């Protein structure tokens, strides 16, 4: 993977005031790593997005502060924060790395191919692992692990971490290789079977309210009992 280039500036705007930066198309962030103090910085959002699209969280980025190449810092994107409502980026953390020193990092897992079990309605492929922890030089980190699920045809058939192809001369997997990555589970029933007609619902049974009363939600407070109306005498 090619090393990406990204310009950055040291950031003086801190705290809640960074909102004004975002409104101006600036993404606030921080830089941390071995032998350096955490640095508050900022990057242009329209420059960061295409770089991140190529590098992801396992591709090396040369972070430039405009002082010449000798002052460029090799980094990985360590964390991205998004607004929970708009899903827009609000903050980025960069991790300084030494290109000659191995590091541990998480590599995403992506399924490829079509599973016969799903095509034939036999079962559903469930993903148990979304990220694998590995150790490698920063420039040797895989972009992602592609797992071919086209061999999964029967219920309980599985793919393990040890089945993932990796160049062991450059990358070592730190997670348990016996861990299941994908497994075929029986198809879930869409509708529950209706109870037999002759079985009457017992009044007061858990989860069943008498007609006209609401069932409280789990953990909720039961509705207060309405005052009973006085019986009207039928006698004249």
**Tens-of-pLDDT digits for all 236 residues of the chain?**
689 999 999 999 998 889 999 999 999 999 999 888 999 999 999 999 999 999 999 999 999 987 766 779 999 999 999 999 999 999 999 999 999 999 999 999 999 999 999 999 999 999 999 999 999 999 999 999 999 999 999 999 999 999 999 999 999 999 999 999 999 999 874 444 455 555 544 444 444 444 444 444 444 444 444 444 444 444 43
The domain 4-96: what is its CATH number? 2.40.240.10
In the numeric block, which tokens belong to residue 176?
């348990």
Q: In what order do the strands lie in the sheet with 4-7?
A: 4-7, 61-64, 73-82, 89-96, 26-32, 39-44, 9-10
Element spanning 134, H or E: strand 131-136
Q: What are the φ and ψ backbone dihedral angles of 37, each rounded to 5 degrees?
A: -85, 150
Q: What are the boundaries of each domain within the chain?
A: 4-96, 103-185
Homologous superfamily of domain range 103-185: Ribosomal protein L25, C-terminal domain (2.170.120.20)
Burial class (CB in 10 A: 0-12, 13-18, 19+), 196: exposed
Could you give the angle at the alpha carbon of 87 between the alpha carbons of 58 and 26, nearest 5°? Answer: 75
Q: What are the φ and ψ backbone dihedral angles of 23, each rounded to 5 degrees?
A: -65, -25
Q: Flag whether the pTM goes above 0.85.
A: no
């Amino acid at each position: 993977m090619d090393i990406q280039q990204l310009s950055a500036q040291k950031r003086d705007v801190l705290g809640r005031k960074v909102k004004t930066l975002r409104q101006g198309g600036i993404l606030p962030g921080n830089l941390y790593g071995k032998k350096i103090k955490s640095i508050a910085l900022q990057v242009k959002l329209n420059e960061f997005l295409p770089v991140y699209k190529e590098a992801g969280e396992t591709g090396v980025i040369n972070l430039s502060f405009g002082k010449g190449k000798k002052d460029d810092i090799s980094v990985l994107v360590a964390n991205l924060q998004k607004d929970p409502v708009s899903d827009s980026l609000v903050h980025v953390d960069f991790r300084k790395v030494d290109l000659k020193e191995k590091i541990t990092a998480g590599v995403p897992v992506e399924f490829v191919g079509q599973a016969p079990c799903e095509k034939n309605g036999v079962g559903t492929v469930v993903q148990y692992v979304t990220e694998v922890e590995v150790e490698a030089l920063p420039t040797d980190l895989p972009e992602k692990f592609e797992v071919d699920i086209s061999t999964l045809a029967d219920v309980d058939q599985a793919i393990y971490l040890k089945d993932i192809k990796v160049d062991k001369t450059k990358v070592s997997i730190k997670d348990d290789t016996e861990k299941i990555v994908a497994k075929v589970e029986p198809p879930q029933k869409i509708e529950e079977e209706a109870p037999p007609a002759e079985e009457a619902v017992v009044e007061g049974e858990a989860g069943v309210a008498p007609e006209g009363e609401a069932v409280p939600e789990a953990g909720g407070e039961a509705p207060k009992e309405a005052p009973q109306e006085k019986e009207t005498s039928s006698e004249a």
